[in-house]
């Protein structure tokens, strides 16, 4: 079998907010169809790492290579890069003044200049895929949290990204709504999407992740297959974190 | 105080001339407010820009306008612009526009900044540029949020247009004072003109409420 393509390669990534050094020399490689789960306490830098990957935060030093191309924020067109790296947010961030379908087709229409009927057709297919075909014409305010997050996933997929980033996608949801979002994400993983997920859902990590990174103090302290990392963590800090949450 | 019957009689006799004044007031208000919205949007964008010089320009504009009386501004425009052959109507319209624009800039700035940061991030994460996200995502929501204070500012603009009487425009208020002076019956005409303004403001309030309801479809 051919070696899988490197989708994301991060080397010696550093990021500070003022005096606060949030990411310290982070190295990470994500290959095609990998599902990577980042875990760690709040403030450990996992969300910042994720946000650096689509340049919502701009690194201070180090390199970020997306699909073989090293991206320099001041030279490269980040709008182009972001079209291949989709993102799903903790608080959904749907556009409240647009219907569900309008949310999904906004970027294809405006950025890709897709024809309206084509965008609508694809948008409806995506909504059907996340199980919300019948909600196409309602406004986000009428949806439950789980439905909103599934629309957000469909909206992101509408740009046909090669990589999807999930920033605590279920943390703002009522417990009974977490499952529907996770199963949409599992479906996506099965289809071979390359995914980097920040989450506290250890069940999801165990079931879906190809490997898990434990972050602490701005570094990736330990990484490994979920079974190894959860059952036999080698680092004391990983053990402490896992025993505090499991 | 004039008697009710005298008021009604004067009202009935004077309405043709007042309607002419009302028409001028409406044109003056509509044009000045339309221009003011553009000024307001423009300067609110300067004000939230990351470029210090642009912030500074907006601050100076807003500071000068807010720090001086409208009547002084209208006179400065009138005497300044009449030399250039610009009519009293356009002097008043531009003066009112520049004045209301400063307040509308602050209204827009507040409403733009009140839109959650995640909206811009969501747009950017989909590959939309900053400008495109601003235009398609942020401004439509900000405009909706600005509508109640904006409606308020429009009403202030309508009433402030009465100051154009002082640069010889025959709008509503000017007609009331000239008719009053002509007949020595000032009180009657002042009450009549107050009534006209009240009707205009109420009609406008209804319009703004309708627009708010229409835009609230997504709530």
pLDDT over threshold 80, residue B219: no
Per-residue pLDDT of B96-117, as tens digits, reads 999 999 999 999 999 999 999 9
A235: left (phi over 0), alpha (psi -120 to 50) or beta: beta
Environment class of A187 (CB within 10 Å of its CB; exposed 0-12, middle 13-18, buried 19+): middle
Q: Are strands A85-88 and A35-40 parallel, antiparallel or unpaired?
A: unpaired
Nearest to B126 by CA among A95, A158, A166: A158
Q: Residue A243 has what pLDDT?
A: 87
* CA atoms of A135 and A98, how far apart (whole Å): 12
Predicted confidence band of residue B215 (pLDDT cuts 50, 70, 90): confident
CB contact under 8 A, A106 and B141: no
Q: Please count the residues of chain B.
A: 219
Contact (Cβ atoms closer than 8 angstroms) between residue A8 and residue A52: no
Chain A residues with CB inside 8 Å of B121's CB? 56, 89, 93
Per-residue pLDDT of A19-40, as tens digits, reads 999 999 999 999 999 999 999 9
Angle at A80 between CA A187 and CA A32, to 5 degrees: 40
B141 inside 8 A of chain A by CB: yes
Read out DSSP for A165-182?
A: EEESTTTTS-HHHHHHHH
Per-residue pLDDT of B47-94, as tens digits, reads 999 999 999 999 999 999 999 999 999 999 899 888 888 899 999 999
Strand arrangement, sheet containing A85-88: A85-88, A163-167, A194-198, A35-40, A211-216, A219-224
Chain B residues with CB inside 8 Å of A79's CB? 124, 127-129
Per-residue pLDDT of A123-163, as tens digits, reads 999 999 999 999 999 999 999 999 999 999 999 999 999 99
* CA atoms of A158 and A118, how far apart (whole Å): 11
Nearest to A209 by CA among A15, A88, A36: A36
* Probe site for chain A from B114, B117, B120, B126 (most A CB atoms < 10 A): B126
Q: What is the mean pLDDT of residues B129-137?
A: 96
Q: Which residues contact A177 (CB under 8 A, 6 or more apart)?
A: A144, A145, A146, A170
pLDDT over threshold 80, residue B1: no
Environment class of B47 (CB within 10 Å of its CB; exposed 0-12, middle 13-18, buried 19+): buried
Q: Residue B165 has what pLDDT?
A: 87
Nearest to B40 by CA among B99, B115, B116: B99
Share of chain B above pLDDT 90, in %: 84
Q: Which of A79, A85, A93 sits opposite B122 (nearest CB)?
A: A93
Contact (Cβ atoms closer than 8 angstroms) between residue B91 and residue B77: yes
Nearest to A194 by CA among A3, A2, A1, A5: A5
State how far residue A157 is from chain B, nearest Cα, in angstroms. 9
CB contact under 8 A, A110 and B128: yes
Q: Which of A83, A99, A139 sits opposite B127 (nearest CB)?
A: A83
**Radius of gyration (Cα) for chain A, nearest Å?**
18
Q: Residue B34 has what pLDDT?
A: 96
Residue position matching structure tokens 């400063």: B102
* CA atoms of B21 and B87, how far apart (whole Å): 17
Residue position matching structure tokens 């606060």: A20
Please, which residues 60-99 of chain A have a Cβ atom closer than 8 Å to chain B? 79-80, 82-83, 85-87, 89, 91, 93-99
Q: Which two tokens stand for residue B171?
A: 């709008």
Q: Which CATH class is domain B4-218?
A: mainly alpha
Q: Residue B176 has what pLDDT?
A: 92
Contact (Cβ atoms closer than 8 angstroms) between residue B32 and residue B96: yes
Q: What is the mean pLDDT of residues B5-26?
A: 93
Chain B residues with CB inside 8 Å of A156's CB? 125-126
Q: What is the pLDDT along chain A (246 residues), one digit of tens a residue?
A: 567 899 999 999 999 999 999 999 999 999 999 999 999 998 899 999 999 999 999 999 999 999 999 999 988 999 999 999 999 999 999 999 999 999 999 999 999 999 999 999 999 999 999 999 999 999 999 999 999 999 999 999 999 999 999 999 999 999 999 999 999 999 999 999 999 999 999 999 999 999 999 999 999 999 999 999 999 899 999 999 998 886
* CA atoms of B74 and B95, how far apart (whole Å): 5
* Probe site for chain A from B50, B111, B118, B127 (most A CB atoms < 10 A): B127
Q: Residue A209 has what pLDDT?
A: 95
Q: Which two tokens stand for residue B79?
A: 């005497």
Q: Residue B122 has what pLDDT?
A: 97
Read out DSSP for B181-212?
A: HHHT-HHHHHHHHHHHHHHHHHHHHHHHHHHH
Contact (Cβ atoms closer than 8 angstroms) between residue A71 and residue A55: yes
- Domain residue ranges of chain B, discontinuous segments joined by +: 4-218
Q: Which of A97, A98, A107 sits opposite B126 (nearest CB)?
A: A107
* CA atoms of B46 and B58, how far apart (whole Å): 6
Q: Which of B118, B125, B144 sits opposite A97 (nearest CB)?
A: B144
A230 inside 8 A of chain B by CB: no
* Probe site for chain B from A51, A66, A73, A79 (most B CB atoms < 10 A): A79
* Probe site for chain A from B121, B125, B140, B146 (most A CB atoms < 10 A): B125
Nearest to A157 by CA among A113, A109, A105: A105
* CA atoms of B189 and B182, how far apart (whole Å): 11
CB contact under 8 A, B218 and A155: no
Tell me what the pLDDT averaged over chain B comes to: 93
Torsion of CA B42, B43, B47, B52, to 10 degrees: 90
Taking residue B108's Cβ as centre, other Cβ atoms within 10 Å add up to: 26
Chain B residues with CB inside 8 Å of A159's CB? 126-127
Nearest to B161 by CA among B62, B44, B74, B64: B74
ipTM of this complex prediction, to 2 decimal places: 0.93
Q: Residue A2 has what pLDDT?
A: 64
Per-residue pLDDT of B134-172, as tens digits, reads 999 999 999 999 999 999 999 999 999 999 888 888 899
CB contact under 8 A, A83 and B132: no
* CA atoms of A209 and A196, how far apart (whole Å): 9
* CA atoms of A128 and A136, how far apart (whole Å): 9
Q: Residue B15 has what pLDDT?
A: 92
Q: Residue B170 has what pLDDT?
A: 87
Q: Please count the residues of chain A.
A: 246
Q: Residue A1 has what pLDDT?
A: 53
A159 inside 8 A of chain B by CB: yes
């Amino acid at each position: 079998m051919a070696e899988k393509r490197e989708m994301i390669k991060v080397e010696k990534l550093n990021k500070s907010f003022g005096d606060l050094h949030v990411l310290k020399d982070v190295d990470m490689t994500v290959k095609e169809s990998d599902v990577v789960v980042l875990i760690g306490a709040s403030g450990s830098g996992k969300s910042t790492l994720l946000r650096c990957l689509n340049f919502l935060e701009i690194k201070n030093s180090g390199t970020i290579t997306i699909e073989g191309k090293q991206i320099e924020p001041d030279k490269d067109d980040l709008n182009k890069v972001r079209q291949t790296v989709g993102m799903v947010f903790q608080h959904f961030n749907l556009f409240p003044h647009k219907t569900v379908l309008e949310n999904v087709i906004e970027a294809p229409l405006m950025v890709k200049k897709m024809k309206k009927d084509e965008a609508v057709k694809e948008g409806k297919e995506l909504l059907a895929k996340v199980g919300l075909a019948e909600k196409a014409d309602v406004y986000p305010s009428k949806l439950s949290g789980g439905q909103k997050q599934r629309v957000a996933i469909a909206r992101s997929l509408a740009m046909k990204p090669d990589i999807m980033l999930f920033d605590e996608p279920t943390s703002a949801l009522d417990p009974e709504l977490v499952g529907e979002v996770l199963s949409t994400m599992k479906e996506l993983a099965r289809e071979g999407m390359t995914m980097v997920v920040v989450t506290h859902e250890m069940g999801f990590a165990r079931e879906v992740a190809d490997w898990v990174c434990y972050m602490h103090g701005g570094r990736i302290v330990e990484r490994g297959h979920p079974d190894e990392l959860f059952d036999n963590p080698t680092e004391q800090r990983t053990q402490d974190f896992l025993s505090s949450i499991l | 105080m004039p008697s009710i019957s005298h008021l009604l009689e004067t009202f009935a006799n004077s309405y043709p001339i007042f309607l002419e004044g009302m028409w001028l007031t409406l044109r003056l208000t509509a044009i000045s407010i339309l221009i003011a919205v553009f000024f307001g949007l423009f300067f609110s964008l300067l004000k939230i820009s990351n470029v210090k010089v642009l912030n500074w320009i907006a601050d100076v504009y807003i500071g000068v306008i807010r720090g001086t009386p409208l009547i002084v501004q209208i006179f400065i425009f009138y005497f300044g612009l009449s030399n250039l052959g610009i009519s009293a109507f356009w002097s008043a319209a531009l003066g009112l526009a520049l004045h209301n624009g400063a307040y509308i800039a602050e209204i827009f700035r507040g409403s733009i900044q009140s839109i959650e940061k995640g909206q811009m991030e969501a747009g950017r994460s989909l590959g939309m540029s900053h400008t495109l996200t601003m235009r398609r995502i942020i401004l439509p929501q900000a405009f909706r949020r600005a509508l109640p204070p904006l409606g308020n500012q429009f009403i202030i603009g309508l009433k402030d247009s009465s100051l154009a009487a002082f640069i010889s425009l025959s709008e509503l208020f000017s007609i009331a004072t000239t008719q009053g002076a002509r007949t020595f019956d000032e009180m009657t005409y002042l009450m009549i003109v107050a009534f006209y303004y009240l009707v205009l403001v109420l009609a406008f309030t209804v319009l703004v409420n309708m627009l708010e309801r229409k835009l609230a479809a997504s709530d």
